[in-house]
Structure 1
């Protein structure tokens, strides 16, 4: 999925005509590409595509022949769009957890709470084994003690 959305966004950014046509559409946003150093960049890439997809379809209809046929096939693939929307829904709780974990005020108790919430997130149910493995690897006894002693949490839900 990511390769396809990256191909579309890369094409939309690097080719003059599609880039200009997309920027002329009211409500469109600049297509984003994932980066190795930004943890949430894949979600940003997917979000930029899903927000622009209707505009891209309109561009294809209004300007036949201006967009590469391989890119047109990917844009017109409704199943790709639906799968990307579902993937974005699953990635969003992880992105929120990353934001919380990277905050300046995050402590060991917060880290435990963040991981615990990921374990119970309904959108991540298909990946609960993977999340549990990460939880088991990341959470140490000091996290649990901090969670039990922290006045905000007092060990609730352990």
Structure 2
């Protein structure tokens, strides 16, 4: 009989998640930012830290884009926050999979007199990585990851 060594798999990284469905309205977008800040605080990331401020701003921009460009009547958007060991991941899922943001880095900023068009520039500036995934024929998810201070792990 042959003996086999049993090797335990490495532990999966600790992931804490918050997810909520919000109305695809300006009020829902504002609420997304407030809920993100509140959730991060409950995870031990105070409101005044650079990480919390960046995550709240990125959440606000992604939620505003979902409401502006990803809205369908009667359909909501989903905000998901993931606390990973070394970063926060913000995901906003909306109802318009055919309206995908540009994948290349955002080009030139809008004209100074323009009232819109700066959201993805802000996401690009504050997030370490961001992108878009179309997971099915009814939704798309735009996500962004904001790293914690290098060498500092986000504890549970």
Larger Rg: 1
Higher RCO structure (Cα 8 Å, ≥6 apart): 2
Compute the TM-score of the two structures, normalised by the length of structure 1: 0.30
Q: Which has the higher helix share?
A: 1
